[in-house]
Structure 1
Amino acid sequence: MREHRGRYRRILRFAAWHLATTWWFELLLPRVGLGSISGRTRSRRMQNFARRFHDLAIDLGGLMIKVGQFLSSRLDVLPPEITKELEGLQDEVPPVAFPLIAALAERELGAPVGRVYASVDESAIAAASLGQAHRARLNILDAEDTGLDAVVMKVQRPGIGAIVDVDLAALRKVAGWLSHVRLVSRRADMPALVEEFAQISLQEIDYLHEAVNAERFAADFAGDARVAVPEVVWERTTRRVLTLEDVTAIKITDAGALRTAGIDPAAVAPVFASIMFDQLFTNGFFHADPHPGNIFVTPVPAGTGGPGWKLTFIDFGMMGEVTASTRSGLRKLLIAAAARDGKGLVAAINDVGVLMPSADSAGLERAMTQLFARFGGMGFAELREVDPREFRDFAVEFGDVVRSLPFQLPENFLLIIRAMSLTSGVCSALDERFNLWDSVEPYAAQLLRNERGNVVQDVARQALDAAATAFRLPGRLDALAGRLEEGSLEVAVPRLERQAARLERAARRSGSALVFGALLVAGAIVRSDDLVFGNVLMAVSAVPLLHALWAGRRGR
């Protein structure tokens, strides 16, 4: 119990220190005219943060490894200084000693491992943050019943349940802190994202849930010769032990082994991308952890048709579902991007829920239309050859518009973003000139052909919408006249807005003064127990004090 309390406090201390550092450099210094200092030190600070988090994750294990993996896959929003440092976390998890693994397996299966299996290899073939896998052979009776011989026994790390609970409690606390940071809260509901992460993590340590996922995934691709899935040995599977058919083959990113087998790595990339698109945009049930260790390229005998190989997926603990409405929005987004339709793209973004309802999307429509007008005549691969200064000019012209819009990260998007980030990374490893969007155009064209079957229904729906709008128009005009008579019509007045802004600054100044006092008193109290952390709190109290002084100066 003491160890778990120490773990909890260590995670919170790490988060508090780096949040305070980020607040100081990224929010306060630019406001007092010292933004150049923040800019000069940003790259080094990012590297230091990533390195320290890497060390913390390796030392603590558990969900900290998972958090690092999620951060490393966010190539779209996080700088390379962070993603590069964290990308190898999965490969650095040390295995648990086999006697501990065997003891847990025996408790779960109700018999010694030597009786349950004909043999078990004591060396782990894979060690992850939540469990590890060992090769084994089924005993004679099980082999006859299942038709399998070589299997993989996957076992949870001992005590991982309690560790996950502690880590989730710490992450919920940090999410609560972040929910009070306006810069973060206006973009994402951090407590909701942590709850989504919690649900994913708890499902990952339930191997019965993973076994069901494997069979569902296999059913989705039952008629697809490009995809293979290991069979589950249900008689030797419990919540903490999972026994699967051994389907080990060529790791998808092992270019040398692929060429030796007569397989062109560049030919694998578009097939893998297409399979992931099928999961996201058609099936709605997708593998959310498609890193190279979870996908094999399995050669198949000549004469069976196809390219002479198939992709074998393993590890179905982290799976995602796309609701029908979100899937429809994603399909529209894909089609609009491929068609260079700026207005359609913004409409699809709205459908997906990335833009908050209050957003004025006219500026974004103009930006997207201009983007397609400037670069739309090129293939996606050609965009890499464009002079970077052109992209910088575009960013300068429209950056403020995009940043001012109230974007948000909808629920259930954590896994979608992770899946697409990892897909892009695997495809790039297979073919350095591969661009994920190269596969989007033909896929979007197919989606568009499928969508055309519903044109008549769409036209009829639009006609009904127009008729309904026309029918409601007299009532709306009457309501508008009524509001004018009552004097309740809201009109934007710039002068009043400026006065409101001054009042808001005064309120923020008072809030900063209260935070200053709270941090100072808290630091003095904590200092007697934890000298370092107490001193940090007292030092950080200078930040809201300076903010109060600066806000007061600006208000004048």
Structure 2
Amino acid sequence: MVRLSRILLRLWVIARVLARHNALFLMERVGVAAPVVAAARLFVNRHAPGRPGQRLARALAELGPTAIKFGQALSIRSDLLGEDVASDLSELQDQLPPFPFAEARRIVESELDQPLESLFTEFSETPVAAASIAQVHFAITPPDAAHPKGRKVAVKILRPGVEAAFRRDIAVLYWLAEIAEAAQPSLRRLKPVETIRMFEDSVNMEMDLRFEAAAAGEMAENFAGDTTFRVPEVDWGRTSQRVMTLERIVGVPVDEIDRLVAAGLDPLEVIRRAANAFFNMVFRDGFFHADMHPGNLFVEPNGTLVAVDFGIMGRIDEATRRYLGEMLLGFLNGEYRRVAEAHFVAGWVPADQSVEMFTQACRSIAEPIMGKPLAEISIARLLGQLFQVTETFQMEAQPQLLMLQKSMLVTEGVGRTVAPTVNMWELARPLIEDWMVRNLGPLGRLREHFETASQAAERLPRILEHADRAASLMGADGLRLHPDTLKAMRPRRNPLLQVLPWGLVIVLATLLFVK
């Protein structure tokens, strides 16, 4: 009862803020907590400026860290909110006033169990960035053999109290999602509870900076030896759950064109490298940076791209990568049935739906986009519109694909900012074609079948071991069946059902004992 009271109280606060910004439509669409929504309508500000998505973004920013993160997560759900609202939420600024330096010092010294002066010879009292989860300070480490003058680093510190605030708000979101699924079966295909669970997992990872450091380390390994893209080095000795220390980057933000040109860098080459890096993350590694906006991507003086902020990452398994490859190849070549069949093979669209009708839907989405001038073609927007029409075909939401679509949209935005007259995917075409030949061509199919056979061969010894154990048990004590199994074997209507299980047992025993 106490928990429910807390949820309802927080829900009322949320509803009041949404009403003040004329953004109650978010709760109205979910269709739950009708009394709370009805009461909040009394406080609606009809004169709140901006588009619905902009008003919603301002309301979420006022509600604090969890709401800001939730708004960013909703920005990938154009299937739920519509493309215009989702697009406006993607502009939601993850900024909050910084917390005091004294608090930053306390957290660093508590987490790393040393005085701040022992850890750093210099430490900026004013943060260079302050977001909903953490803020960043510049610092310099003491001299050592590798860095005689000390090393310039960036220190990320978790915002105090953010975990408790998140636990309070996530309980409200789960409550709403569970009621929505129970009260509105039509929403189940959108997986609201699973979406909240993924959101919770993502933010929990962000609130443990060791996980972010590990993500940076994994991506650094994936791009080891690549001279076009790299990741800052983690200082593990100065990293803990609430503190992370990374090599400080000296470079130009990727969207500052004048500075890039002044530094003698070719914007076209910068975008080619960004496209190649993103493609390698997704299709080669299945592990991608899910928030690669201009503020998280820098260009070093030698032209190397450097990404920062690894709190939001995405993963795609190998099978899904192949299905995505089939989809992209089908769209690029105008083979819409191939696109449709990829959905059915992946199990994203139920088997009882019409392949022909889904092919027609794919064509209706792709033709207006693929028919545009090359520089205006957006694969991310194509995927987004595809997800919007899938309700007709009872396609369940695929959260991992929605995150990928949002990441592609952000990356394409970077490309259009830096080189408006080119298409970044066209720049990456040689890499894309090479991957498709190796993975979707005859040799790729052969390798896939070989890998499947190899996995089966690896399991064979365990299968034989279990079979031998079963044979020994049957030879020593006979075949012992659970009472429920015996009950299930009793005849009901057809006498054949009575003897069939025993016939199978006899055949199995014969095979096991045959010499």
- TM-score for both structures, normalised by structure 2: 0.72
After superposition, the C-alpha distances for 1:441-478 in whole angstroms (9 at most, x for unaligned) are: 544422232133526739999xx9xxxxxxxxxxxxxx
Unaligned runs of at least 5 residues, structure 2 = 32-45, 454-515
After superposition, the C-alpha distances for 1:240-263 in whole angstroms (9 at most, x for unaligned) are: 101111114111111221121122
**Equivalent position of 1:190 in the other structure:** 192
Alignment of 1:165-180 (within 5 A): 165-180=167-182
After superposition, the C-alpha distances for 1:55-104 in whole angstroms (9 at most, x for unaligned) are: 33333321211122233455687556535644443354222222111111
Question: Does the 8 Å contact 2:77/2:402 carry over to 1?
Answer: no
**Equivalent position of 1:323 in the other structure:** 317
Which of 131, 135, 140 is matched with 2:138 structurally? 135
For residues 370 and 216 of structure 1, what CA distance do their matches in structure 2 show?
Answer: 40
Following superposition, the deviation at residue 379 of structure 1 comes to 6.4
RMSD value, Cα: 3.8
Pair 1:97-2:104 in alignment: no
Following superposition, the deviation at residue 54 of structure 1 comes to 2.7
**Equivalent position of 1:336 in the other structure:** 330
- Secondary structure, aligned partner of 2:126: coil
Following superposition, the deviation at residue 144 of structure 1 comes to 4.5
Aligned CA distance change for structure 1 residues 194 and 414 (closer, same or farther; 3 Å): farther
Which of 278, 283, 308 is matched with 1:314 structurally? 308
1:313 is matched by which residue type in structure 2?
A
Which of 348, 351, 369 is matched with 1:354 structurally? 348
- Secondary structure, aligned partner of 2:300: strand
Question: Does the 8 Å contact 2:323/2:342 carry over to 1?
Answer: yes
**Equivalent position of 2:114 in the other structure:** 111
Aligned CA distance change for structure 1 residues 399 and 70 (closer, same or farther; 3 Å): closer
**Equivalent position of 2:358 in the other structure:** 364
Aligned CA distance change for structure 1 residues 97 and 460 (closer, same or farther; 3 Å): closer
For residues 86 and 366 of structure 2, what CA distance do their matches in structure 1 show?
Answer: 29
**Equivalent position of 2:272 in the other structure:** 270
Which of 239, 242, 261 is matched with 1:259 structurally? 261
For residues 357 and 266 of structure 1, what CA distance do their matches in structure 2 show?
Answer: 44
Aligned CA distance change for structure 1 residues 262 and 4 (closer, same or farther; 3 Å): farther
Following superposition, the deviation at residue 230 of structure 1 comes to 0.9
Question: Does the 8 Å contact 2:70/2:199 carry over to 1?
Answer: no
- Secondary structure, aligned partner of 1:299: coil
Pair 1:205-2:168 in alignment: no
Following superposition, the deviation at residue 213 of structure 1 comes to 1.1
Following superposition, the deviation at residue 327 of structure 1 comes to 1.4
Following superposition, the deviation at residue 231 of structure 1 comes to 0.9
Unaligned runs of at least 5 residues, structure 1 = 25-42, 301-308, 385-390, 465-556
Alignment of 1:137-156 (within 5 A): 137-141=140-144, 144=146, 149-156=151-158
After superposition, the C-alpha distances for 1:19-42 in whole angstroms (9 at most, x for unaligned) are: 564489xxxxxxxxxxxxxxxxxx
Aligned CA distance change for structure 1 residues 374 and 168 (closer, same or farther; 3 Å): closer
After superposition, the C-alpha distances for 1:197-245 in whole angstroms (9 at most, x for unaligned) are: 1111101111111111111100100021111211111111111101111
For residues 443 and 52 of structure 1, what CA distance do their matches in structure 2 show?
Answer: 41
Aligned CA distance change for structure 1 residues 247 and 351 (closer, same or farther; 3 Å): farther
After superposition, the C-alpha distances for 1:112-139 in whole angstroms (9 at most, x for unaligned) are: 2122211101111111110011000002
Following superposition, the deviation at residue 344 of structure 1 comes to 0.9
Aligned CA distance change for structure 1 residues 94 and 7 (closer, same or farther; 3 Å): farther
Alignment of 1:386-397 (within 5 A): none
Alignment of 1:277-296 (within 5 A): 277-296=279-298
Which of 395, 416, 441 is matched with 1:407 structurally? 395
- TM-score for both structures, normalised by structure 1: 0.67
**Equivalent position of 2:406 in the other structure:** 418
For residues 430 and 79 of structure 2, what CA distance do their matches in structure 1 show?
Answer: 23
For residues 113 and 369 of structure 2, what CA distance do their matches in structure 1 show?
Answer: 64
**Equivalent position of 1:65 in the other structure:** 68
After superposition, the C-alpha distances for 1:514-544 in whole angstroms (9 at most, x for unaligned) are: xxxxxxxxxxxxxxxxxxxxxxxxxxxxxxx
Q: Report percent identity of matched pairs.
A: 28
Aligned CA distance change for structure 1 residues 50 and 97 (closer, same or farther; 3 Å): farther
- Secondary structure, aligned partner of 1:420: helix
Following superposition, the deviation at residue 159 of structure 1 comes to 0.9
